[in-house]
């Protein structure tokens, strides 16, 4: 595959950037041999148990920080390994896609991505969240918080009244879009009960829809902590596989835009996106754009360092090769969560880049070029101390897998960056 792409312009040069101690970031533009990594296989999960914390005092009788189905929200917590790291924290947003219309969200409300009723007692996460110091030497001893995702729109919804949907079972069900309240509830609980009030160093991260949440809320979490009296010495974010492009399909259809625009409206996410982006879009009909990573990233004020593939495997099928579900958005008759990798003639190519023909390679390269251009277009990317580790392997959430240590650009791995 790489040999068929040699005609592409050379990638931009690597940049030296300051993150953590000494961080080298690289921005790569050419597609390399596909390095398929779709799971955390080979990465070490935490050795210590992450305790499930259910925020029963923050539910419908309190703040209203609840999952789609109205059950209490929660998180998992693992304390610092020793006293020397007691003031160091990682806050992680779980991912899991989005729901796009009422019936889709009804379906999600019956799963662990919309209800806490079946959440397990413990969770694991590798790579950047591992407590194995050989895998993750910089952050392995930090306090670690795994924020469970159950609101349907990357922790951004703040709809006051529930949306009542008649489900496939013929029964009415109230759906709550309260992701922003969940963030507030998590921070308050951590402050009051788990020592976040003494934090000095905080890294915010998350993968996939959690990566998008990291873009949307990097500034909000920082400003909230400062507002709550936390004396931060260092605060940065590292969104993983969350830079989902506002981009047409390979045959020119606005599928992903329509999907994300609809959930932005359903969830009432206006107050749950980057406030600087929202201020820039105020008075226009473009506020929904702030629900996209590229706009949140452009306006982000706090230090931020994305980790992403320019040819992300989820984006390949579910943005570039997607179609709207029949009946979207108001007449969907099932709970299908988008239609991925169904663009005619591109099914094999977007599922396995090794199967792309010459014409398809050119189309894929255009997507990669668009990704490079959009991410590096001013704003946060050009701020001193910021940067990005962007490669072109066909992967998703690779910073949570063994690839955290093995993917390299210019001889520098994601972990070293």
Specify the range with the lowest mean pLDDT, choosing from 96-100, 115-119, 225-229, 400-404. 400-404
pLDDT > 90? residue 12: no
Cα–chain center distance at 50? 21
pLDDT above 90 as % of the chain: 86
Query: For the residues 42-68, what does the mean pLDDT come to?
Result: 84
Who wins on pLDDT, 416 or 125?
416
Q: What local confidence, expressed as pLDDT, does residue 42 receive?
A: 43
Asked if residue 181 has pLDDT above 80, the reply is: yes
Distance CA 58, CA 354 (A): 49
Does residue 199 contact residue 221 with C-beta atoms inside 8 Å?
no
Question: Would you say residue 6 has pLDDT above 70?
Answer: no
Interval 112-150: pLDDT, tens: 999 999 999 999 889 999 999 999 999 999 999 999 999
CA distances from 284 to 195, 287, 288 (A): 41, 7, 10
What the block records as the tokens of 332 is 């969907």
Q: Is the pLDDT of residue 217 over 50?
A: yes
39 pLDDT higher than 80:
no
CA atoms within 13 A on the CB side of 245: 30
Question: Tokens in use for 221?
Answer: 């979490």
pLDDT of residue 124: 83
Residue 29 pLDDT class (50, 70, 90 cuts): very low
* Residue 212 pLDDT exceeds 90: yes
The CA-to-CA distance between both ends of the chain, in Å, stands at: 27
The region of weakest confidence among 31-35, 56-60, 279-283, 405-409 is: 31-35
- Asked if pLDDT for residue 232 goes beyond 90, the answer is yes
**With 50 as the cut, is the pLDDT of residue 372 above it?**
yes
pLDDT at 25 over 50: no
Q: pTM for the full model?
A: 0.90
- Residue 323: band (very low, low, confident or very high) from pLDDT cuts 50, 70, 90: very high
pLDDT at position 31 over 80: no
Tokens 């579910």 -> residue: 318
Q: Is the pLDDT of residue 66 over 80?
A: yes
């Amino acid at each position: 595959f790489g040999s068929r792409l040699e005609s592409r312009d050379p990638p931009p040069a690597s940049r030296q950037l300051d993150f953590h101690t000494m961080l080298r970031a690289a921005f790569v533009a050419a597609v390399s041999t596909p390095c398929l990594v779709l799971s955390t296989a080979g990465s070490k999960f935490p050795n210590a148990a992450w305790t499930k914390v259910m925020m029963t005092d923050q539910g419908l009788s309190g703040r209203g920080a609840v999952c789609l189905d109205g059950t209490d929200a929660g998180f998992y917590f693992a304390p610092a390994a020793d006293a020397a790291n007691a003031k160091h924290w990682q806050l992680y947003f779980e991912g899991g896609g989005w729901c796009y219309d009422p019936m889709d969200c009804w379906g999600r409300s019956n799963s662990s991505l919309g209800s806490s009723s079946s959440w397990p007692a413990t969770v694991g996460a590798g790579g950047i969240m591992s407590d194995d110091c050989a895998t993750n030497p910089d952050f392995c001893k930090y306090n670690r918080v795994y924020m469970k995702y159950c609101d349907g729109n990357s922790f951004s919804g703040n709809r006051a009244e529930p949306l009542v949907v008649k489900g496939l079972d013929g029964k009415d069900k109230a759906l709550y879009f309260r992701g922003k309240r969940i963030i507030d509830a998590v921070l308050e609980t951590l402050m009051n009960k788990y020592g976040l009030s003494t934090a000095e160093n905080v890294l915010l991260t998350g993968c996939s829809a959690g990566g998008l949440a990291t873009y949307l809320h990097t500034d909000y979490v920082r400003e909230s902590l400062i507002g709550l009296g936390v004396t931060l010495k260092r605060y940065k974010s590292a969104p993983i596989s969350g830079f989902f492009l506002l981009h047409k399909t390979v045959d020119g259809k606005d599928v992903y835009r329509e999907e994300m625009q609809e959930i932005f409206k359903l969830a009432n996410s206006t107050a749950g996106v980057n406030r600087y982006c929202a201020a820039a879009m105020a008075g226009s009909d473009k506020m929904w754009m702030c629900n996209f990573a590229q706009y949140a990233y452009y306006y982000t004020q706090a230090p931020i360092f994305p980790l992403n593939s320019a040819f992300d495997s989820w984006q390949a099928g579910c943005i570039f090769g997607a179609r709207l579900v029949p009946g979207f958005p108001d007449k969907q008759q099932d709970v299908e969560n988008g239609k991925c990798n169904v663009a005619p003639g591109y099914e094999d190519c977007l599922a396995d880049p090794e199967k792309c023909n010459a014409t398809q390679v050119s189309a894929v390269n255009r997507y990669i070029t668009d990704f490079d251009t959009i991410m590096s277009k001013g704003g946060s990317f050009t701020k001193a101390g910021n940067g990005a580790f962007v490669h072109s392997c066909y992967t998703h959430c690779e910073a949570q897998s063994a690839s955290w240590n093995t993917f390299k650009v210019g001889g520098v791995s994601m972990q070293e960056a």
